[in-house]
Structure 1
Amino acid sequence: MARQSLREQLLDAGFRTIWNSGYAATGVRDIVAAADARPGSFTNHFASKEEFAGEVLDRYFAYVSGLVEAALAQDGTSPVGRLRRYLDVITSKLEAHDWARGCMIGNLSLETAVHSEPLRLQLVAIFERWRQPFAACIAEGQAAGDITRAFDADDLADFLLSSWQGAMLRMKVERSPAPLERFKKIIFSTVFAKEPTQ
């Protein structure tokens, strides 16, 4: 029987290692060791660490997209309630790692955007796709009068994702959920609050 390819094993190990340690601190040797693979096996499957990180990033975004789909699902919960549900789900996952790990998309944006044009472009595309379900949920809330119509739904979705990434950055620095809770408190009492009736 032919030996199973180590490709998936390397990707699984790299996913964990890059998320825990970051891109710069993770060497090919670390990935190979975490996969319990032979030296040299990495180059049989990947042309470079950069290409490998791109595949890990796609895998992570697929994971996040599943969380987004579940949280924003139209199940009778209001659009604002679904947005809150997403942020609360992510908060619970961040807590499980003692507020230290953050979001791989945000982490790689900080680490690689200046040094890797392919990864930067991949991140641009990810943010575009990531924004879409949030914009749709926000537009639904705007139509119901539950979210301000002073701003375009796409712009509000960008604002939500960008500000949430900033809150997670502060969370990692402080090792505390306080920045996340502060963000949620402000956003749900301002742009994601009911518009005052005239």
Structure 2
Amino acid sequence: MNKLNNRERLLMEGARVVHRHGLSATSVRDIATAAGVPLGSFSNHFPSKDAFGLEVLERYRSRSEAEARETLLNNQLRPLDRLYSYINSTHEFLSQNQMRDGCLCGNISAEANEHSDEIVDRVVRAFADDERSIAYCLRAAVEAGELPPETDVEDLAGFVLSSLQGAFLVAKVRRSPEPVNRFKRVLYAWLGAAGSES
């Protein structure tokens, strides 16, 4: 039971350190210290820092994927309301601690050259999943007449995801939500104008 507790503490506290400082800048010693467990306990539970990082990413993504199911993929909601809810709820989650932590996937992608292919591939798949979910929502908006029929939903989904991730990174550096607020103002105004023309 103690090993399970130590493993959970390593994941929970280590994830906070990784999220704040980045995976490449965080040592195994940092993770063990944050968890309050002996350094040797790390290797008892994880064969490498990459294996730990992958598990942290999986846990982080489980929250993101649940959010996408409740918003972007929720056919009970009006399509553009789904998109707004997704962006707003993600923004609220990342606004904790004055945007200092940013998006874990975005943080890792910013230091991609310092990570293994396995870590990078996991982040690439995460972004691809998000882009597909956004495209699904935008396709529903076209079908509902909320966006013009000629809307290229794949291009627009890629633009939304890239712009949102960029806004998160700038917000993290500035320790201010304003870059994300600006992104939302511009996107929502454009979508509203596009919808009024459809």
Gaps of 5+ in 2: none
How far apart are the structure 2 equivalents of 1:194 and 1:83?
14
- Report whether the alignment pairs 1:129 with 2:129: yes
Could you tell me which residue of structure 1 aligns to residue 157 of structure 2?
157
Structure 1 position 163, deviation (Å)? 0.7
Greater mean alpha carbon deviation, residues 188-197 or residues 155-164: 188-197
2:24, 2:115 within 8 Å by CA — same for their partners in 1? no
| Matched residue count | 195
2:99, 2:172 within 8 Å by CA — same for their partners in 1? yes
More helix by share: 2
Q: Deviation per CA, 1:74-99, whole angstroms, max 9, x where unpaired?
A: 33x32111111111112222322112
| Alignment of structure 1 residues 58-137 onto 2, 5 Å | 58-72=58-72, 73-75=74-76, 77-113=77-113, 115-137=115-137
2:164, 2:180 within 8 Å by CA — same for their partners in 1? yes
What code does the residue aligned with 2:195 have?
K
Residues 115/95 of structure 1: CA separation in 2 closer, same or farther (3 Å cut): closer
2:98, 2:177 within 8 Å by CA — same for their partners in 1? no
TM-score by length of 1: 0.88
Structure 1 position 195, deviation (Å)? 5.1
How far apart are the structure 1 equivalents of 2:150 and 2:190?
11
How far apart are the structure 2 equivalents of 1:86 and 1:11?
26
Could you tell me which residue of structure 1 aligns to residue 173 of structure 2?
173
Residues 172/85 of structure 1: CA separation in 2 closer, same or farther (3 Å cut): same
What code does the residue aligned with 1:173 have?
V
Runs of 4+ residues deviating >6 angstroms: none
Gaps of 5+ in 1: none
TM-score by length of 2: 0.88
Greater mean alpha carbon deviation, residues 142-151 or residues 98-107: 142-151
Identity of aligned residues (%): 36
Could you tell me which residue of structure 2 aligns to residue 15 of structure 1?
15
1:71, 1:83 within 8 Å by CA — same for their partners in 2? yes
Could you tell me which residue of structure 1 aligns to residue 43 of structure 2?
43
How far apart are the structure 2 equivalents of 1:151 and 1:143?
11
Could you tell me which residue of structure 2 aligns to residue 54 of structure 1?
54
What code does the residue aligned with 1:91 have?
H
Greater mean alpha carbon deviation, residues 25-34 or residues 91-100: 91-100
1:145, 1:195 within 8 Å by CA — same for their partners in 2? no
How far apart are the structure 2 equivalents of 1:65 and 1:178?
25
